[in-house]
Amino acid sequence: MAALISPHGSDALNPLYVAEPARNAVLSEQAESLPSITVSSAAASNAVMMAAGYFNPLTGYMNKEDALSVAENMHTKSGLFWPTPILNLLEKAPAIGPRQQVALRDPNVDGNPILAIMTVDAIERFTDDEFTSMTQKVFGTTDPNHPGVADFTSQGRVALSGRIQVLNYSYFPSEFPDTFRTAVEIRQDIEKNGWSKVVAFQTRNPMHRAHEELCRIAMERLEADGLVIHMLLGKLKPGDIPADVRDASIRKMVEVYFPPNSAIISGYGFDMLYAGPREALLHAVFRQNMGATHLIVGRDHAGVGDYYGPFDAQTIFDEIPDDALKIEIFAADHTAWSKKLNKVTMMREAPDHEKDDFILLSGTAVREMLGEGKAPPPEFSRPEVAQILIDHYRQQS
């Protein structure tokens, strides 16, 4: 059996979760006597991603120099390729000194339990100019109406950097016990299945026919052994479908329409950035860490609104050094049901088609239909998936 793809930046994964139970218990007890800080949701999700091995080989939150270097050049000062700053931002500097340990408390769980212990390397403030420049580089805009920009700029300007030891995975294992998986666990599942060529599909939405067929097309053309449907389980912008509803609809689709043992359904604990091209690169980094050899990057991948060109998230991969990543992308076009061909196809592969030859529905139109209890056409959405979404919208009304 072929060896799994190497993690990013190291020979083996370095998950920052303290897995040994006795050691975890000792640190958890010690943490209660440390000064503590309740971090932002973004910083908490960064900790979960480092704990799970997804952000290998990082050992903690970036300092100011690394964050600015990553924003500007997509590498840390030591030369590690990395597309987005991984920060613990605060509104004001805490009264602690370098090398001191501090307990990081979880903002997303009742009672704000301790999530991690951090050994502080530095407490640094970004100037307004530095922060604006970093925001522009990462998100391609400083527009406060951009949901990722709005969240990023609300976290504060003080960066607390240093190594972390993570004591739990926040709310993700309890809320998504069948779906939340670490990079370590997904590697184990891939190995157990005997897969070597593995396609990853990123989603923050339910999967309709076009998504389903896109996964099938990628697997066939790449002659892949298996598929990992990897859904975001963290915070989204208002109006997005909740993770538990997405989870149920995706599971139903795979159960009914995919061959047995051809797809792993899993999720990761991260808050969406909506950073388009930069986030697509981050998606590639942590899919490599979980053992995928290919990532499907579609039209407007990780984007929002009209901030990015439809294929910016694909072309950015041409702009990074050849040796930056081992994972490859499967570049996909908008995919839809063709009335002429009587199947789902990528639109660029149907040059003889007009727009009216496809069944195309806007997100707004689909939400309105579901809200009225009407299923979209079966060429657009599987009826079993549509019913789960109709039930969700019915509960909202």
Residues designated catalytic: 204-205
Burial class (CB in 10 A: 0-12, 13-18, 19+), 322: exposed
CA 240 to chain centre: 15
Residue with tokens 């139903």: 252
How far apart, in whole angstroms, are the C-alpha atoms of residue 43 and residue 45?
5
The residue with tokens 């050049």 is: 73
Q: At what angle do helices 243-257 and 383-396 cross, to 10 degrees?
A: 160
Side-chain-facing half-sphere of 372: CA atoms under 13 Å: 9
Query: Do residues 276 and 149 make contact, with C-beta atoms less than 8 angstroms apart?
Result: no
Sheet of 343-346, strands arranged across: 343-346, 335-338, 358-359
What is the distance in angstroms between the CA of the first residue and the CA of the last residue of the chain?
52
Q: What φ, ψ does residue 285 adopt, rounded to 5°?
A: -55, -50
d(CA 124, CA 135): 17
Asked if 295 and 224 count as a contact pair (C-beta separation under 8 A), the reply is no
Q: Which H or E element spans position 330?
A: strand 328-331
The percent helix, strand, coil of the chain (3-state, each to 5) is 35, 20, 45
Which positions ≥6 away from 185 have C-beta within 8 Å? none
Cβ neighbours for 71, distance < 8 A, ≥ 6 positions apart: 84, 85, 133, 134, 137, 138
Cis previous bond, 260, omega within 30: no
Neighbours of 32 (CB within 10 A): 9
Residue 225 CB-half CA count within 13 A: 16
Q: What is the DSSP letter of 304?
A: -
